[in-house]
Amino acid sequence: MTGPQDSVIGIKKEVSIKRFLTQRSERFVVDRGESGFRG
C-alpha cells in the first residue's frame, strides 16, 4: 500500500475516527503528510 504514513487509507485519521464514532456522513479529506510504501 502507498499513501500518507499518518492516515487511514489516505484519509485524515481525525475525519475517519469522527465518522466511525458518530456514524454520520462526512466528506473525506485527503491527508497530505509524508508518504510511504508498504508491501
In a domain, 38, yes or no: no
Instruction: Tell me which residue range forms the domain holding 12.
Output: 1-26
What confidence tens digit (pLDDT) does each residue in 1-39 have? 777 778 888 888 888 889 899 999 888 888 887 888 777
The pLDDT assigned to 32 comes to 82
Looking at residue 21, its amino acid is: L
Length of the chain counted residue by residue: 39
Residue ranges in 1-39 assigned as alpha helix (H): 13-22
In a domain, 13, yes or no: yes
In a domain, 33, yes or no: no
The pLDDT assigned to 27 comes to 84
In a domain, 2, yes or no: yes
Number of structural domains found in the chain: 1
The pLDDT assigned to 22 comes to 94
Note the Cα 8 to chain centre separation in Å. Answer: 3
CA angle 33, 35, 28 (to 5 degrees): 55
Backbone phi, psi, residue 3, to 5°: 140, -175
The pLDDT assigned to 23 comes to 92
